[in-house]
Amino acid sequence: EEDAATALRLPKPVRQLYTTVGDVRSCQLQKAFVVLACKDLGSPLPAGYLQWLQQKEIEATERVREKAKQVSILKLRDEILRSLPAAWDKESAANYLRETKTRFAAYLAAVALTDDALHDIRKLLKDLLYVWPYLEGVVAEIFPPQFFNRETCQQLAEKLGSFQDCCVALTLFHPDLLPELSVEERQQLVLIREVCNRRKEGERKALVDRLQLLKNEIRANMQVQTTVPVSTGNAEERSTQE
């Protein structure tokens, strides 16, 4: 019999489809960011780079079509339904929230919040938001309600998402891989990348400050040892999506 972790793991074709859809989204976000950055800088659009992004998006879209052929929605639905717990009550919700709180506090207890750690916190919050309707009436008993409710959780997840978009954007600036670009366009991409990096660092500071408030509130009610492995890698070495 499969354990819960195995039973809830999405099939490989579904995960691959999710990743390729993320690749399409990353190209679209990158184009939008470049256009906005050029407007702020008062500079012309880097035509060669945007053409490269357009081609990357076309290729990713084709991969989505191919991956989608390998996914059966009906089969996936049946697998998800089979993995659902037989019963769900207040005690089940409280146990889930206590486990989530422990993981959350463990991330916050790390010496430094790396890009990967912030990304993992975002995934944790998104998982929580997906099942929030089944946790009503219990969340306030586990988390400090004045700092952690559905609205603040949603806002924090969105800000973490914006930060992740910056991390992904930085991985898509590769002028050295585009020898056909002019020297002027390469220099322009360097400036645009600096704009993105400044935005990323500004958002990081705001996030760390906000998470510090949550950390203080959670630590006031519980003592947590960091038992959850916290990622230490650099986001620029990471692929685009989770």
pLDDT, residue 194, reads 93
Separation CA 91–CA 74 (nearest Å): 31
pLDDT, residue 10, reads 81
Q: By the 8 A CB rule, do 94 and 37 touch?
A: no
Residue 168 sits in the same domain as residue 93:
yes
Q: How many residues does the chain have?
A: 242
pLDDT, residue 171, reads 87
Separation CA 73–CA 77 (nearest Å): 6
pLDDT, residue 51, reads 92
Residue 184 sits in the same domain as residue 73:
no
Domain with 63, as residue range(s), is 1-84
Q: By the 8 A CB rule, do 207 and 159 touch?
A: yes
pLDDT, residue 23, reads 95
Of 58, 84, 110, the residue that ends a domain is 84
Q: Is residue 204 part of a domain?
A: yes
Q: Is residue 242 part of a domain?
A: no
Of 84, 119, 152, the residue that ends a domain is 84
pLDDT, residue 160, reads 96
- Average pLDDT by consecutive 10-residue portion of the chain (242 residues)? 50 92 94 91 92 94 96 88 84 92 87 90 94 88 82 94 93 74 87 92 94 78 45 43 46
Q: By the 8 A CB rule, do 241 and 24 touch?
A: no
Residue 92 sits in the same domain as residue 77:
no
Residue 26 sits in the same domain as residue 114:
no
pLDDT, residue 125, reads 94
